[in-house]
Amino acid sequence: MRPPYLLLDIDGVLIPFPEADGSTPATHARHDVVPTGRSADNPVTVWLDPTHGPMLMDVIRTGLVTPAWCTSWRQDATTLIGPLLGLPSLPHVDLPHPQITTSHPNGYLWKRDHVDAWLGDAPAVWIDDDFTSLDHAWAEERTTRGAATLLIQPAPRAGLQAAHVAETRAWAARLLSARSAVAPDPNQAEAA
């Protein structure tokens, strides 16, 4: 039985947004990275919590989820950000580069239509700081038609918390045990 996807955002989740005074949580360490398309003398400063890597690996190692990046860092999530947290190479949702001035051009998260197509009917837990009520309605609608969907929305200035990862793990474990409970017993099918 295929585990649900775990879609992971970066900005506002692994990299918290700074407070008005520019400060970031004391838990986070500074790194300078050079995203694709930028020159080496023009790096971007990011702040990462070194405990996030082991925290995520704890749930990834259970095999309860299939992790994938879902972030405007795109491929750089795997090549730049993941390694700084000790994460293995993970696939990413290939998001386009839309010319938008808001993350909710149609009232919902701009990534969602791409995620919807990418997921097909697969169940998913999606961690992003930027959902609107329309995204939560979309998740309920998917769940109703059998593609269980959980949206987890960290506060963007605090980012990912241990409770979010625990919720991810508990939800995936419940989903997989519920699915195996309703799966037809092959022996019974043969006897019939």
Q: Which residue is nearest to Mg ion (CB)?
A: 12
Nearer to Mg ion, 11 or 49 (CB): 11
Token pair recorded at residue 144? 């109703």
Torsions phi, psi for 147 (to 5 deg): -105, 85
Nearer to Mg ion, 34 or 95 (CB): 95
76 forms part of the interface with Mg ion (CB under 5 A): no
Of 3, 4, 12, 123, the one binding Mg ion (CB under 5 A) is 12
User: Residue 12 Cβ, how far from Mg ion at the closest point, in Å?
Assistant: 4
Nearer to Mg ion, 64 or 78 (CB): 78
135 forms part of the interface with Mg ion (CB under 5 A): no
Is the distance from CB of 27 to CB of 51 less than 8 angstroms? yes
Of 49, 76, 129, 135, the one binding Mg ion (CB under 5 A) is 129
Element (H, E) at 112: helix 112-119
Please choose, out of 1-9, 49-57, 78-86, 105-113, the segment that lies near Mg ion by the rule CB under 5 A: 1-9
Dihedral class, residue 149 (left if φ above 0, else alpha if ψ from -120 to 50, else beta): beta
DSSP 43-96: -EEEEE-TTHHHHHHHHHHTTS-EEEE-STTTHHIIIIIHHHTTPPP--B----
Residues that bind Mg ion (CB under 5 A): 9, 11-12, 129-130
